[in-house]
Amino acid sequence: MDFQYKDVYDINDLLKIMAILRSPGGCPWDREQDHKSIRSNLLEEAYEAAEAIDTGDGELLKEELGDVLLQVVFHSQLESENGGFTFGDVADGIAKKLIVRHPHVFGDVKVKDSEEVLDNWEEIKQRTKGRGTLTQVLNGVSKALPALMRAQKVLCKASKSFGTETEPADAARDICKKAEDFCKAVDTGDATAYESRLGELLLSAVDAAGLLHIEAEQALTKSCDRFISECGQKETAE
């Protein structure tokens, strides 16, 4: 095996290690994988990196970011073996995207604040992807996102497109109305109906979260954590 052990490794060493693992004399498990078989690994590592950010643990974040990077390298190696793109192509693509979407840094565009930067980013993104209609923009929000996160992105983009924003109080009243509709549907015993009404209730709650600048995904996560803590307190009390 043509490999040099070092005290400190860099990205080129990581790429070489991945190639060795996938080679005929490498690791049987790594050689058996394809894009779909390790799809869930990419999601899991991204969430673990997010958790490390939430804990504020720098060492843990460093480790988890390495795991995320491994997934990028792994998928790039798989594609390279199939005659597709390489890790270099991935790096080239994101570098070019950053240059194009920061015309206020790499061009002569003037911006007054971060909000204008984000507006320009979104406009450039939709233009370069050929999304000219609202439906195309909304369909561009990944269906693989967690439902709450996807819903909030869709509602935010729709709100910006319409140029109107509901008042939080109106959104709260809409939640109450949708809750009533859900209860009525449950009373009918029609499973299809109350599933639909529950979805509408959840969407209304996500809409209210956006209006109040609350991340729905984080809000539910915190509530789940509180629920677990309360369960632990009840167990202790018993």
Torsion of CA 147, 151, 152, 155, to 10 degrees: 180
Label residues 108-139 b or e (16+ Cβ within 10 Å = b): eeeeeeeeebeebeeebebeeeeeeeeeebbe
Instruction: Report how far apart the first and last C-alpha atoms of the chain are (Å, whole number).
Output: 60
Query: Rounded to whole angstroms, how far apart are CA atoms 22 and 16?
Result: 10
Query: Rounded to whole angstroms, how far apart are CA atoms 55 and 46?
Result: 14
Model confidence at 164: pLDDT above 80: no
Q: Any idea what DSSP says for residue 144?
A: T
The pTM assigned to this predicted structure is 0.79
Predicted confidence at residue 97, as pLDDT, reads: 96
Domains assigned to the chain:
11-93 (1.10.287.1080), 131-237 (1.10.287.1080)
Q: What is the per-residue pLDDT across 11-29, written as a single tens digit (0 to 9) for each?
A: 999 999 999 999 999 999 9
Could you tell me the pLDDT band of residue 106, with boundaries at 50, 70 and 90? very high
Predicted confidence at residue 149, as pLDDT, reads: 92
Q: What is the per-residue pLDDT across 191-218, written as a single tens digit (0 to 9) for each?
A: 899 899 999 999 999 999 988 989 999 9
In a 10 Å sphere around its CB, with 0-12 CB exposed, 13-18 middle and 19+ buried, how is residue 103 labelled?
Answer: middle
Query: Rounded to whole angstroms, how far apart are CA atoms 20 and 172?
Result: 57
Q: Are the C-beta atoms of residues 77 and 19 closer than 8 Å to each other? A: yes
Q: Shortest CA distance to 165 belongs to which of 175, 173, 174, 155? A: 155
Could you tell me the pLDDT band of residue 1, with boundaries at 50, 70 and 90? low
Could you tell me the pLDDT band of residue 236, with boundaries at 50, 70 and 90? confident
Predicted confidence at residue 147, as pLDDT, reads: 92
Strands (E), the chain: none
Query: Worst-scoring range by mean pLDDT, 34-38, 173-177, 186-190?
Result: 186-190
In a 10 Å sphere around its CB, with 0-12 CB exposed, 13-18 middle and 19+ buried, how is residue 227 labelled?
Answer: exposed
